[in-house]
Structure 1
Amino acid sequence: MTNRISFQLNASDGKARTGVIATPRGEIRTPAFMPVGTAATVKAMMPESVRATGADILLGNTYHLMLRPTAERIDRLGGLHRFMNWDRPILTDSGGFQVMSLAGLRKLTEKGVTFKSHIDGSKHELTPERSMEIQRLLGSDIVMCFDECPALPADRDRIAESMRLSMRWAQRSREAFGDRPGHALFGIQQGGLEQDLRQESAEALREIGFDGYAVGGLAVGEGQEAMFSCLEYAPDMLPADKPRYLMGVGKPDDIVGAVARGIDMMDCVLPSRSGRTGQVFTRFGVVNIKNARHADDPRPLDEACTCPACSQYSRAYLHHVFRANEMISGMLLTWHNLHYFQEIMADMRNAIAAGSFEAWQAGFHDQRVQGDIDPL
C-alpha cells in the first residue's frame, strides 16, 4: 500500500484525460466527481450508499466542521473518516469560499479573515496556518490551501489584488502543511476571467510546488460560456503530471465540458440539493418530479438506470412521496442523481481510454436535447 499520494495518467483523448490518483485509503479514478459531505454527511445518504453509486472520494467542509462539531472534537473521536464512517479518501476545502459567502460580518487582512459564525454569531479567525491545522485535525487525505475567492463580476484590480493575496496565502499554507506522507496539498489558481492573471497565479503556484492544482474562482455566477472560455486556457497552465481540480462544478453538461478541457476532478452540491427539491437529472435532461404529469405514471424515471429509485419505484410513487414531504423522497432522488453523475464519469473514463471521447460527447448532448419521455 502506498504511503504517498501519486497521480498516474493512463490515457488522453484531445484534452480529456483519464488516470488514477493513488492514496493510502484507496484509488480515485479520474475524471472523478466528488459528492459533497458538507457537515460530515452527504445529505439523505448513507456512506455505503454513496459508495454504491461509484464515488471514490467525498468532500468535507472546513468552515462548517470547524464551527460544528469542531475539528478538535472530530480529532478526539478518531478523525473525520471514522467519525462519518467513510474509509475511503476525503478532500477538505480550506473554508475560504464559505467565509466569503456565508459568514456574518467579516474582516479581511493580510493575516487572514475574522468572521462571525452563521450558526451562533461567535467570532472566529481563519488564516492559512489555522486552515492547515483544522484540516490536519480532520485527517483529510487531500488538503486545499487557504485562498480568497472574490465573487464575479469584480473589477480587474480587485481580482488581481485578491489573486496575489491568495498566492501569498498559498506559500504560507505550504509552509504550515509541512511534510505529511500519505496526505496531499493542492494549490488553487485564481485570477477571475483574466488570462494574464491566471498565468501569473499558475506560475506562482508552480514555483511553490503542490501535489495537485485546482482552478478556483469559477462557477461563482459568471455563466457557462465565460467559464468554458476560461477553461480553454486555465488548465493548460497547470502541470500536466498532476491532478487538476475544478472547484464547485456543476451541472452534467458543465462537467462534460470541463473534462473536455482537461479537468480531472470536480465537486458540487447540485445532485444532492436538487434531489431534495424534486429536481432529477437523467440522460434526457432534467425532470421535475413535482409536476402533476407524473401523478399517474407507472413508468420509472429512466428505464435504463439501475439505481433503486428507477429500478424499484414508479414516477407516480416518487411524485407522491415528494408531494407528501416524505423523507424517502430526498433519499431516492439524491441516490438517483449521484448514481447518474457517477455513471457520466465512468462513461467518460471508458470513452477517453477507447479514444472515442468526441463521439461519446456528441451522443451525450444529443440525448439530453431530446428531453424527457412524452407524458402518458
Structure 2
Amino acid sequence: MSKFNFEILGKDVKSDARAGVIHTVHGDIKTPSFVPVGTQATVKSMSNEDLQEIGVQVFFVNTYHLYLRPGLEAIEKGNGLHSFIGWGKPLMTDSAGFQIFSLGDVNRQRKLCLQGDPLEIPLVKISEEGVKFRSHLDGSEHLFTPEKSIEVQRILGADIMIAFDECCYYPATHDYAKKAMERTHRWALRCLERSSKFHLEEIPQGGQVQSSKLGKSPQALYGVVQGGVFEDLRKESAKFISNLPFEGVAIGGVAVGESKKEMEKVLDWVVPLLPKEKPRHLLGVGEIDDIFTLVEKGIDSFDCVMPTRLGRMGHLLVRKVENREWKLDITK
C-alpha cells in the first residue's frame, strides 16, 4: 500500500511558486491544484464523470454534513467514502470545525461576544473539551472533540484529513484570537495523539478503514495555522504547527470577512515559516483573481465553492476582450 508523500518538481525563480505532486493511495495530485468542494460528497450539479472529464484530481468533502447525513453507519456499510460515492481518486475531508462554528447566526453572535470563554451561543458551545452543537437537521445535540473529528475522518477514509481547530472569525480582538489559536494548538496535539494510536492497531484488510479495525492507513493529517489577522499570532501559530509531525499544513481563518489585502498579508507572514518539504493548503479560498496570488505565494492547493456556485446561478466566466473589432461577434 502506497504511503502519502509530497514531491517538489520545480520552483519559480521570481516568486515562491512551485510545482509538485502529492502521492496518495488513490492517485497523484499535481500541484498547484484547485480543489472543488463537494459538501455532501458530491460536487453540486456535476457527476463523477463530469469531474473526471474536466481533469479534477481531488475534491473536498464536509465531515459535519456526512456525519449527520447519511451517517457513519451507512458509509461504513458502503466500505468507506470512496466506494460509497464511486470515486477512485483522492479525497480531502475537513475537520467539521468551520461548519459547526457557522451554525445558525454564529458569525453575528460572535461579533457581539468576542471576549467570552467558553463562548456560548444558541446552537454552539465551545469549551476545552470540544464543541457541543445542535444538528441543523433535527436539533439533536452532539459533541465534537479533536479525537472525535479524527475518528470520523478515519472512518470516511479520505486521503487527506484536517486537524480540528477553532476558526477565528473576523473581526476578532487580539485577545480572543490568541485564545482561539492556543486552543487550536492544544487540539492539534490531541488530534496527533489520537491519530498515532491507529498505527498501533491491526492493519485492515484491503486498505478499507473499518470502525472495528481502524489500523495503519495512508491517510495524511494536516495541522491548521490560526491567529486571525495579527502578525505575531500568525507567526507563532505557523512555527508551532510546523514543529509538529503533520504530513502537511493548512492555513485557516481566512475568507471569513477580512479583505484580500489582509489575507495576502497573512500568507506573507505564514508561508516563509512553513516546512518547504510539506504541502500547503489554503482553506476556503479560490476565486479566479485569488488563484494567481496564491500560487505566487507558494500555496500548493486551495478549495472553494465559487466555481460550481457561479455555474448553478447562471454565471459565465469569460475573458475581457477590449478590441472593438469583436464587439458584435457572437460566435464564441
Asked whether the 8 Å contact 2:242–2:249 carries over to 1, the reply is no
Post-superposition shift, 1:375? 5.4
Asked if 1:139 corresponds to 2:161, the answer is no
After superposition, give the CA deviation of every residue in 1:327-368 in whole Å (9 maximum; x if it has no partner): xxxxxxxxxxxxxxxxxxxxxxxxxxxxxxxxxxxxxxxx7x
TM (norm. structure 1) is: 0.75
Say which SS state the counterpart of residue 279 (structure 1) adopts: coil
Say which SS state the counterpart of residue 8 (structure 1) adopts: strand
Aligned to 1:107: 125
Aligned to 1:83: 84
After superposition, give the CA deviation of every residue in 1:204-236 in whole Å (9 maximum; x if it has no partner): 212322000011111111021111122122111
Aligned to 2:135: 117
Post-superposition shift, 1:161? 0.4
Give distance in 1, aligned partners of 2:50 and 2:311.
15
Aligned to 2:302: 266
Give distance in 2, aligned partners of 1:237 and 1:110.
27
Post-superposition shift, 1:164? 0.4
- Whose helix proportion is higher, 1 or 2? 1
Asked whether the 8 Å contact 2:168–2:226 carries over to 1, the reply is no
Give distance in 2, aligned partners of 1:184 and 1:266.
16
**Unmatched runs of 5 consecutive residues or more in structure 1:** 285-366
After superposition, give the CA deviation of every residue in 1:144-194 in whole Å (9 maximum; x if it has no partner): 000010211111001010000001000001111123331100000001111
Asked if 1:188 corresponds to 2:224, the answer is yes
Give distance in 1, aligned partners of 2:253 and 2:245.
20
Give RMSD over aligned pairs.
Answer: 1.7
Post-superposition shift, 1:102? 2.4
Give distance in 2, aligned partners of 1:234 and 1:283.
32
Question: Partner letter of residue 89 of structure 2?
Answer: R
Give distance in 1, aligned partners of 2:319 and 2:98.
31
Say which SS state the counterpart of residue 214 (structure 1) adopts: strand
Question: Partner letter of residue 11 of structure 2?
Answer: S
Moved more, 125-134 or 231-240: 231-240
Give distance in 1, aligned partners of 2:7 and 2:319.
30
Which of 250, 253, 263 aligns to 1:217? It is: 253
Aligned to 1:32: 33
Say which SS state the counterpart of residue 115 (structure 1) adopts: strand
Say which SS state the counterpart of residue 234 (structure 1) adopts: helix
Aligned to 2:179: 161
Asked whether the 8 Å contact 2:103–2:124 carries over to 1, the reply is no
In structure 2, do the counterparts of structure 1 residues 278 and 209 end up closer, same or farther at CA, with 3 Å as the change threshold?
A: same
Moved more, 98-107 or 9-18: 98-107
Aligned to 2:205: none
Aligned positions of 1:1-376 closer than 5 A: 3-13=2-12, 14-102=15-103, 105-178=123-196, 179=199, 180-284=216-320, 374=327
Asked whether the 8 Å contact 1:8–1:21 carries over to 2, the reply is yes
Say which SS state the counterpart of residue 52 (structure 2) adopts: helix
Give distance in 2, aligned partners of 1:168 and 1:15.
30
After superposition, give the CA deviation of every residue in 1:224-254 in whole Å (9 maximum; x if it has no partner): 1111122122111111110000000121111
Aligned to 1:324: none
Post-superposition shift, 1:201? 0.9
In structure 2, do the counterparts of structure 1 residues 279 and 176 end up closer, same or farther at CA, with 3 Å as the change threshold?
A: same
Asked whether the 8 Å contact 1:245–1:266 carries over to 2, the reply is yes
TM (norm. structure 2) is: 0.84
Asked whether the 8 Å contact 1:3–1:181 carries over to 2, the reply is no
**Unmatched runs of 5 consecutive residues or more in structure 2:** 105-121, 200-215
Post-superposition shift, 1:255? 1.4
After superposition, give the CA deviation of every residue in 1:74-100 in whole Å (9 maximum; x if it has no partner): 112111111111110000000000001
Question: Partner letter of residue 41 of structure 2?
Answer: A
After superposition, give the CA deviation of every residue in 1:295-351 in whole Å (9 maximum; x if it has no partner): xxxxxxxxxxxxxxxxxxxxxxxxxxxxxxxxxxxxxxxxxxxxxxxxxxxxxxxxx
Asked whether the 8 Å contact 1:57–1:89 carries over to 2, the reply is yes
Give distance in 1, aligned partners of 2:172 and 2:310.
28
Asked whether the 8 Å contact 2:103–2:123 carries over to 1, the reply is no
Say which SS state the counterpart of residue 3 (structure 1) adopts: coil
Asked whether the 8 Å contact 2:166–2:180 carries over to 1, the reply is yes
Moved more, 172-181 or 66-75: 172-181
Asked whether the 8 Å contact 1:37–1:61 carries over to 2, the reply is yes
Give distance in 2, aligned partners of 1:263 and 1:114.
33
Q: What stretches of structure 1 move > 3 A for 4+ residues in a row?
A: 373-376
Give distance in 2, aligned partners of 1:22 and 1:279.
34
Give distance in 2, aligned partners of 1:252 and 1:159.
29
In structure 2, do the counterparts of structure 1 residues 85 and 105 end up closer, same or farther at CA, with 3 Å as the change threshold?
A: same
